[in-house]
Chain A
Amino acid sequence: MDETVAEYIRRTVLKIPRDEIKSMLQTWGFLSETQLQTLNFHQTKDNISQDVVQLCEDNSADIKQAAVLDIIYNHIYPNKRIWSVYQMNKTGEETDFFDLTDFKKKFKRRLQSALKNVTINFREYEDNAIWIRIAWGTPYKKPNQYKTSYVVYHSQTPYVFISASVLRSTLPLLCQALVVASNYHDIREMELRSHCLNSLKDIAFKRYSQTFQTYYPRPLQERNVAPENVDLRIIQENRSEKERIQRVNREVFGDGPQPKLEFAQYKLETMFKSNPKMDVLDIKEPFRCLVKFSSPHLLESLKSLAPAGLADAPLSPLLTCIPQKARNYFKIRERKGFFPGSFVSP
């Protein structure tokens, strides 16, 4: 067995939490049940990984198999990578029947004809998702297994979730291969990124709870207003205001849990507006600035801003439009036209 393959398997096993190593190796299915029984899972992870490598040596594993283990790991822990959503477009209206083997063949051929040295692995999951792992090389260099790209493609949708390799130059080629293989016309980035792949899917497939209803009948409205003040000596003066905030908040965010995003970024390229008399900064150059919001759970925290009394309700539509517009990276430019003011570029 190749030394690099052994080292790669060892490192992959080391990444897995100890109590999950066994189940992941079982999912992998490369080592037989009897081989797995010989493994002692109660020693240090370092020793476990050595033993696993030894067993793989006996089965003479190659990089294809090692890559499958990496896919399994990434499928269970997609949050370790950062994912970006891409949308593909067709020109015609023709609906092709999606053929998986054809897709794989075209995808492989496209990349291999360009680079020769490239490791490509596919793995299908039951939710119609195809996971693709690509390790990039050049015609003269072996693929680097530690700087992989991941692609999650749902064949019935135009959306692709890409976790790009640190080798940025590979991205155009990857996009090209995807478009060709899936019979689309072009591909564009949706400016929606997060660690949480499932939330990105929720947003792209519009699965998060949306409330289009703007009017709630009265009894429903009281639902969440629990009798907090049992003590009659504490008097809430702004009760009706609080109810308004709750109502507005529910209209904007809905009742359900929010998809998980970690950032929102706004790039401002607007003019600085000051009092004409003051004569400061009378520059025609745009006033560049970058506003970043980050939080372990951005939308959920935006949702609780107004009820916690940290912001006025409703929040700016720039903040609340994230799930509807399916993007969390924005560029705000000066509106060219009739009205002064800013708007979100489409």
Chain B
Amino acid sequence: MAVVRPFDKLPALNSAAVLLVGSDESLQQKLAEAILKEKKNFKISIHLATSLPLPSERDHLRPRIDLIAFMIDIKSKYSLKNVEASLAHVDASFFLGKVCFLVTGVGRVNYCSVEMNAIWKLGEVYCSPVLYCELELEGIRVATAQRLLRMLQICAGHIPGVSALSFGLLMRNSADE
């Protein structure tokens, strides 16, 4: 099965597609619904996958993916492993600002079963921002949905003057300080 590439398809007019990859399907579904509830002036499609590579039989139906969000649950080692295995199936040019790591479960650090260092390193190695959140909480879920939506707009090129790459660099600088 094929690697996901950011530029192998032509973009559709006034639309954007986000791909959520994570093993916890109920959280994925909740986040997707939260994203849909937000007001926006473009057509969005949200693709949910438990892992990569994506099944090739649906390749022709899939639009160009503008942003991939890998979801990691700090309560589940399996979710981190799953993400690490999936990363191999992403084309390198995606990592120029079109990937982010969404770390959930941050509200319950005492149940943490993955090494936070490993997650932090993941962001470092793949040059992608790491967003910490708690998707079980309604308020934070909405805020996360808004953040993702804003990033998606940038990655899809809807914001004049800001590209995915420049935005990614901006995030990196603020994180390093």
- Residues of A near any B CB (own CB < 8 A): 228, 231, 233-238, 240-242, 308-311
Binds A, one of B23-31, B126-134, B142-150, B159-167: B23-31
- Residues of B near any A CB (own CB < 8 A): 19, 22-26, 29, 32-33, 36, 43-51, 54-55, 58, 62, 76, 78
Q: B55 and A238: CB pair below 8 A?
A: yes
Q: B50 and A238: CB pair below 8 A?
A: yes
Chain B residues within 8 Å of A228, by CB: 29
With contacts A241-B55, A310-B23, A310-B78 taken as known, whether A235 is within 8 angstroms of B48 at the C-beta atoms is: yes
Instruction: Give the CA-CA distance A240 to B50 in the complex, in Å.
Output: 12
Instruction: Give the CA-CA distance A308 to B24 in the complex, in Å.
Output: 6
Chain B residues within 8 Å of A309, by CB: 22-25, 50
**Sampled A-B contacts (10; CB under 8 Å):** A228-B29, A231-B33, A233-B36, A234-B36, A235-B62, A236-B48, A237-B19, A237-B54, A238-B55, A310-B24
Q: B46 and A234: CB pair below 8 A?
A: yes
Q: B45 and A235: CB pair below 8 A?
A: yes
Instruction: Give the CA-CA distance A228 to B29 in the complex, in Å.
Output: 10
Instruction: Give the CA-CA distance A231 to B44 in the complex, in Å.
Output: 11
With CB as the reference atom, state the residue of chain A lying closest to B17.
A235
Instruction: Give the CA-CA distance A228 to B28 in the complex, in Å.
Output: 13
Q: B25 and A233: CB pair below 8 A?
A: no
Instruction: Give the CA-CA distance A241 to B45 in the complex, in Å.
Output: 21
Q: A310 and B46: CB pair below 8 A?
A: no
Instruction: Give the CA-CA distance A8 to B9 in the complex, in Å.
Output: 80
Instruction: Give the CA-CA distance A311 to B58 in the complex, in Å.
Output: 25
With CB as the reference atom, state the residue of chain A lying closest to B24.
A309
With contacts A234-B36, A310-B23 taken as known, whether A240 is within 8 angstroms of B55 at the C-beta atoms is: yes
Instruction: Give the CA-CA distance A235 to B29 in the complex, in Å.
Output: 10
Chain A residues within 8 Å of B46, by CB: 233-235
Q: B55 and A310: CB pair below 8 A?
A: no
Instruction: Give the CA-CA distance A308 to B62 in the complex, in Å.
Output: 25
Instruction: Give the CA-CA distance A3 to B55 in the complex, in Å.
Output: 76
Chain A residues within 8 Å of B78, by CB: 310-311
Chain A residues within 8 Å of B54, by CB: 237
With contacts A309-B23, A309-B25 taken as known, whether A234 is within 8 angstroms of B55 at the C-beta atoms is: no
Chain B residues within 8 Å of A238, by CB: 48-51, 55
Chain B residues within 8 Å of A241, by CB: 50, 55
Given A231-B33, A237-B47, 4 other A-B residues pairs in contact with their CB atoms under 8 A: A235-B47, A236-B48, A238-B48, A310-B76
Chain A residues within 8 Å of B62, by CB: 235, 237
Most buried by B among A228, A234, A308: A234
Chain B residues within 8 Å of A242, by CB: 25, 50
Q: B36 and A237: CB pair below 8 A?
A: no
With CB as the reference atom, state the residue of chain B lying closest to A232.
B45
Instruction: Give the CA-CA distance A233 to B25 in the complex, in Å.
Output: 16
Shortest beta-carbon distance from A11 to chain B in Å: 38
Instruction: Give the CA-CA distance A236 to B44 in the complex, in Å.
Output: 14
Instruction: Give the CA-CA distance A228 to B55 in the complex, in Å.
Output: 20
Shortest beta-carbon distance from A245 to chain B in Å: 9
Instruction: Give the CA-CA distance A240 to B55 in the complex, in Å.
Output: 9
Q: A231 and B36: CB pair below 8 A?
A: yes
Q: B25 and A234: CB pair below 8 A?
A: no
Instruction: Give the CA-CA distance A28 to B36 in the complex, in Å.
Output: 61
Q: A237 and B76: CB pair below 8 A?
A: no
Instruction: Give the CA-CA distance A255 to B50 in the complex, in Å.
Output: 24
Shortest beta-carbon distance from A41 to chain B in Å: 43
Q: A237 and B25: CB pair below 8 A?
A: no
With contacts A310-B78, A311-B78 taken as known, whether A237 is within 8 angstroms of B23 at the C-beta atoms is: no
Task: Give the 7 A-B residue pairs with the shortest CB-CB distance, closest first.
Answer: A309-B23, A237-B49, A235-B47, A234-B32, A238-B50, A234-B46, A309-B25
Chain B residues within 8 Å of A234, by CB: 29, 32-33, 36, 45-46, 48
With CB as the reference atom, state the residue of chain A lying closest to B44.
A233
With CB as the reference atom, state the residue of chain B lying closest to A238.
B50
Instruction: Give the CA-CA distance A235 to B62 in the complex, in Å.
Output: 9
With CB as the reference atom, state the residue of chain B lying closest to A241.
B50
Most buried by A among B33, B44, B50, B51: B50
With contacts A234-B36, A237-B55 taken as known, whether A308 is within 8 angstroms of B25 at the C-beta atoms is: yes
Instruction: Give the CA-CA distance A238 to B47 in the complex, in Å.
Output: 10
